[in-house]
Structure 1
Amino acid sequence: MESSEKPAVIYHPSRPGLEKFWGKLEAELLEIIWSNGPMTVKRALFFIRKKRLYAYTTIMTMMNHLVNKGILRREKQGHSFMYYPTVSKDEFLRSAADEIISGLLADFPEIAEPLISDRSKRLKRRK
């Protein structure tokens, strides 16, 4: 994925896991697709229903939202669409972290630089 095509990063620091970047259902769907590979809405519904009951149209709407946000792409296959991730989970997280840290350093260098340096030193001591 080219840098101009990267999914937009919206960061909510108080939320858990991937919900820092996506809504709860979007995060669950991305985890399912990243773990199991490309799939149809019907297949995603099979996985998601192991946790909660959702309508087919709800899952289809969420997956299409993820297409519009650039994190999934879809291809017509017969009578349905196959949804593919545009980046791996690691690529997304690396890119999102880079964007967040770069933004903090650009906008608030006097605060961000010492904090990042301190956190880095603490992590090195733990190892």
Structure 2
Amino acid sequence: MREETAPTFDTVEELQGYITSLVEREHDYGTCCYAMSLAATAAFNFVASKLGVTGFQASCADLDILRRTRNLDGPFLILKGEDELYPQYDNHKKLEESRESWKEWIAEQAAKKLEDVENAHPDVVAHWKKLAG
């Protein structure tokens, strides 16, 4: 299932049939993960095709799915390991640029944590103080 490509359906009934087929087949600990991602991707493809979204809109939507499913409350970055194979990509630079752009947000969050600190380890409190400025 890992290598399967999620289809794009023309009707909600086709999509529903596909999702049902994924849910009703026998799964083990690993295959249930692929069933979930294939179903979600098929639904994503269906809605995207019906709404006629652009590639940019689709990339915003899939990042929002990641934000929601992983409970990411702040800024985040995705780095591709395969980019390390090519000199035009610089993951180290991307990470440093992102960290720099997040400084204000991090300082605000650290200050909030310092206001409500109860049981944090002294090293963590010291780190928050450093980040809060």
TM-score by length of 1: 0.28
Bigger proportion of residues as helix: 2
Bigger proportion of residues as strand: 1
TM-score by length of 2: 0.27
